[in-house]
Amino acid sequence: MASKTVGISDISLYLPNNRISLEAILEKRTEENPEFHTRLSRAIQSTDQKAIRFPSPWEDAAVLGANATLRLMNQRESDLGILRYFVVGSETTVDLSKSMSAYIQGMLNKTPNPLPTKISSFQVQHACAGATLGMLSVAGLLASAGKLHESGIVVASDIARYEAPSTAEITQGAGSAAMLIEINPKLVSFDLETQGFSSSDVDDFFRPLGSVTAKVKGRYSVQCYNEALDEAFGDYCHRARKDPKDVLSETDFFVFHVPFAKMANTAVRRLLSNHLGIIAQEADAFLGPRGFFSALEVTGNVGNMYTGAIYLNLMATLYQQYKVLGNDIVGKKILFSSYGSGNTMVVFEGRVMEEAPGIIERWKANDFLNHYSDVEFEAYQEWLGRSYTTSFADHYSSHIPHKVSAGSFYLGAIREDGYREYFYKSNL
């Protein structure tokens, strides 16, 4: 098994169609309270965010995840190998007992390509790091079994909501990524031997039971992110027996958790300053050709995907850099940094594989990144006030089937006992 690699063979992305610009939010909040204008405009400038995506009434985190998984299966034309693991990472789960992976499996079983039943299905939670922890777990399980044709699917699916009006509301967002994990991966391989870790018990960010909105201490959360990155990066370098200077100098792509664009930007610059002594324009010259800033612009127009944020960043980096480098993208080294508030950090290495160009070409990323509808503030405000209760059907269910796109899943009802019922709108 020492000669075998494990990693990601393909990724799909599903983003809600609804989009609202931060300028539109700023304008409305200023109308409501002119004194709030300065605080909110400064917050927008400090994040580098431009817009957020948010779900329709029939889309919860499970629906987003099911749509991303179905897109992955269609991308692969059901070529998933022998599927053994189906795992979801989420911090906005739909059930405190039943795994979201089970709900998604049930949705997929309504399509012509159901999942097998001889699989391990579970959910991983640790704020925004849940999907990464699930992915590394599946990668380790596949590597230990050593069966070349077995595979796993890992889904990152979340809806980021905060109290509003507030300066935090500009870092909301929603979306899902689904990844096919295999031995001898076609897209990106991982080094499972040199992962760096950092974990502590902090209250930088949390969501109390029963609350649909998260509680966040903005500046403190940034501090926790940076401190955890320092420790995990040091642990990674120690385990890899490499000098931090060499690690950073040899890294081609920096793929970080991006709750908002400025946060990842600042974090990478700190590493470069601390270990290479390069700052300001020198850092720009170092990061620009590596596609770092252009990938962050994608997040700036989507918002915070929580567990999926790092994989939106990975997909954007690979897609944009392939357009620049072509087949020379093969062999490029990736430094991953995945953070989960509360908190944990994982730093690990990846490399772009030989078959990656063919995979990236099939994504047609511009099609779904640029497919959205700019909505009125009233629709955004309705989302902020929405809760998924047994009265859901009274408000929405009679209208849902007419609004859902063909080939998509939707939440159709919530029973009196609170159980969620999902449906599939066929292409036929």
Give domain status of residue 423, yes or no: no
pLDDT: which is higher, 210 or 268: 268
What is the predicted pLDDT for the residue at 48? 94
What is the predicted pLDDT for the residue at 390? 61
- Give dist(CA 352, CA 356) in Å, integer: 7
What is the predicted pLDDT for the residue at 403? 87
What is the predicted pLDDT for the residue at 301? 94
The percentage of residues in the chain with a pLDDT greater than 70, rounded to a whole number, is 96
What is the predicted pLDDT for the residue at 371? 81
- Give dist(CA 355, CA 365) in Å, integer: 17
Split into its structural domains, the chain has a count of 1
pLDDT in tens, 361-385: 999 766 667 788 999 999 999 999 8
Q: Which tokens sit at 284?
A: 């720009």
Give domain status of residue 395, yes or no: no
pLDDT in tens, 318-376: 999 999 999 999 999 999 999 999 999 999 999 999 999 999 999 976 666 778 899 99
Q: For residues 112, 119, 70 and 158, what is the CA-based torsion angle, rounded to 10 degrees?
A: 150
Q: Which tokens sit at 34?
A: 């002119």
Give domain status of residue 405, yes or no: no
| Phi, psi (deg, nearest 5) at residue 421 | -115, 125
| Phi, psi (deg, nearest 5) at residue 138 | -65, -40
Give domain status of residue 276, yes or no: yes
- Give dist(CA 334, CA 254) in Å, integer: 6
- Residue numbers of the domain that contains 317: 6-377
What is the predicted pLDDT for the residue at 1? 38
What is the predicted pLDDT for the residue at 398? 65
What is the predicted pLDDT for the residue at 99? 98
Task: Tell how strand 6-14 and strand 188-190 pair up.
Answer: antiparallel
CB 213 within 8 A of CB 161: yes
pLDDT in tens, 378-410: 999 999 988 776 666 666 666 787 889 899 999
Give domain status of residue 428, yes or no: no
Give domain status of residue 32, yes or no: yes
What is the predicted pLDDT for the residue at 397? 63
Distance of CA 318 to the CA centre of its chain: 15
pLDDT in tens, 61-104: 999 999 999 999 998 876 888 999 999 999 999 999 999 999 99
Of 75-79, 244-248, 249-253, 310-314, the range with the lowest mean pLDDT is 75-79
User: In whole numbers, what is the pLDDT of the chain averaged over residues?
Assistant: 93
The residue written with tokens 């393909």 in the block is 10
What is the predicted pLDDT for the residue at 365? 67
Give domain status of residue 255, yes or no: yes
Is 90 exceeded by the pLDDT of residue 163?
Answer: yes
What is the predicted pLDDT for the residue at 368? 63
What is the pTM for the complete model shown?
0.96
Give domain status of residue 394, yes or no: no
Three-state DSSP state, 160: strand
Which band of pLDDT confidence, cut at 50, 70 and 90, is reported for residue 187? very high
What is the predicted pLDDT for the residue at 81? 84
Q: Give me the CATH number covering residue 181.
A: 3.40.47.10
What is the predicted pLDDT for the residue at 399? 72
> Quick one: average pLDDT of 157-179?
96
Three-state DSSP state, 190: strand
Three-state DSSP state, 147: coil
| Amino acid occupying residue 174 | A
Q: Which tokens sit at 13?
A: 């992305």
pLDDT in tens, 4-51: 799 999 999 999 999 999 999 999 999 999 999 999 999 999 999 999
What is the H or E stretch that residue 183 is in? strand 173-183
The residue written with tokens 């169609």 in the block is 17
